[in-house]
Amino acid sequence: VGSEKINTDIVTLTRFLNEEQTKHKEATGDFTLLCHALQFSFKSIAYYIRRASLINLSGLAGSSNVTGDDQKKLDVIGNDIFIAAMRSSGRVRVLVSEEEEEAIVFDAKDARYAVLCDPIDGSSNLDAGVSVGTIFGIFKLPEGAKGTKEDLLKPGTELVSAGFTMYGASAQLVLTMKDGPVNGFTMDNALGEFILTHPDMQMPKHRGIYSVNEGNSKYWDEPVKEWVESLKQAEKPYSARYIGSMVADAYRTLLYGGIFAYPADKKSPKGKLRILYECAPMAMVFENAGGQAVNSKMARMMEVIPEQIHDRSGIFMGSYDEVQKVIDIHKKHG
């Protein structure tokens, strides 16, 4: 390999965050510190997932979380890692985790951020070694906020940052800020650093791939049935791709285009995925990458306000034109 081919000026996440901070004159550095803590939790979770089969971390922990899912040992570890990282950052006032019934208020009175997270999403896939991920969203709180429910029951439009890390063949971090571009980083295990590999991700405007659990089709509403049927009967029928890990399905959809859906249906009238730490952060990433995200009422996902911290919603997110097709079919049904 000629040395001229080696990039000796790589942008690590740390460098990226420092450069972002200097662009914002009013920045205090608190957000940067919070991101460092986030980054550490992603690295640790990635490490334990890679080693799970070797150190007896497969299988159930023998408990279930608030939303009734059986917890895997790694769900518990991922949650503990995340909480410890957020607490020790000193910058987080309140944390909502899928694995915790109540929001956790930290004893950091001056901290101005609320963090929403699903520490290990798609954990039913864990023992098979299939990709899972961490999803996160961040709200900035007003001065003196006590971390009450009112600080959390806000729409995605209030997020200052959101993203996810997919633990796959490599760990991939996708990060966006309010109205900002979407940037993708790849974990270099040897360096122990996330490297900016996908700057300013823009998703394809359309692509013939749909991602939905069709096993639920019996419970779907008419417009959803009609929509999926229209994709299958298209002149060039769509391909079906469904991993069953939202983060992995979302990452593929961001890169290749297409649509991911988990509609509300007769079995789950409010949908399955949670607004604060699954739907809203993903919607922010997809919109900032040029796509769309709506709920089952075809309202903009970013504007949906949860009534409870663990509230669920139906979701359709993906390439602009692919989501528009869903909206148009729903409109026709009135």
Of 48 and 320, nearer to Mg ion (C-beta) is 48
Handedness of CA 100, 250, 89, 80 (dihedral sign): positive
The whole-angstrom separation of Cα 333 and Cα 132 is: 36
Query: Whole-number minimum distance, CB 71 to ligand AHM, in Å?
Result: 9
Query: Whole-number minimum distance, CB 165 to Mg ion, in Å?
Result: 13
Contact residues: ligand AHM, CB under 6 A: 69, 98, 118, 121-123, 213, 244-246, 262, 272
- If contact means CB under 5 to 8 A according to the sort of partner, which of ligand AHM, Mg ion, none does residue 213 touch? ligand AHM
Contact 147, 103 (CB under 8 A): yes
The whole-angstrom separation of Cα 11 and Cα 229 is: 44
Query: Whole-number minimum distance, CB 123 to ligand AHM, in Å?
Result: 5
- If contact means CB under 5 to 8 A according to the sort of partner, which of ligand AHM, Mg ion, none does residue 123 touch? ligand AHM
Strands 239-240, 209-211: pairing is parallel
- If contact means CB under 5 to 8 A according to the sort of partner, which of ligand AHM, Mg ion, none does residue 245 touch? ligand AHM
Query: Whole-number minimum distance, CB 296 to ligand AHM, in Å?
Result: 15
Of 121 and 249, nearer to Mg ion (C-beta) is 121
Token pair belonging to 324:
């528009």
Q: What is the DSSP string of 13-45?
A: HHHHHHHHHHH-TT--SHHHHHHHHHHHHHHHH
Q: How far are the Cα atoms of 57, 93, 296, 298 from residue 277, in angstroms, in the given order? A: 24, 16, 17, 19
Q: Give the CB-nearest residue to Mg ion.
A: 121
Say how many Å lie between the first and final Cα of the chain, rounded.
61
Contact residues: Mg ion, CB under 5 A: 118, 121
Of 121 and 322, nearer to Mg ion (C-beta) is 121
Neighbouring C-beta atoms of residue 62, cutoff 10 Å: 9
Residue 85 CB partners (closer than 8 Å, separation 6+): 37, 38, 40, 41, 44
Query: Whole-number minimum distance, CB 212 to ligand AHM, in Å?
Result: 8
Of 70 and 321, nearer to ligand AHM (C-beta) is 70
Of 103 and 246, nearer to ligand AHM (C-beta) is 246
Query: Whole-number minimum distance, CB 213 to ligand AHM, in Å?
Result: 3
Of 31 and 164, nearer to ligand AHM (C-beta) is 164
Query: Whole-number minimum distance, CB 155 to Mg ion, in Å?
Result: 20
Of 140 and 241, nearer to ligand AHM (C-beta) is 241
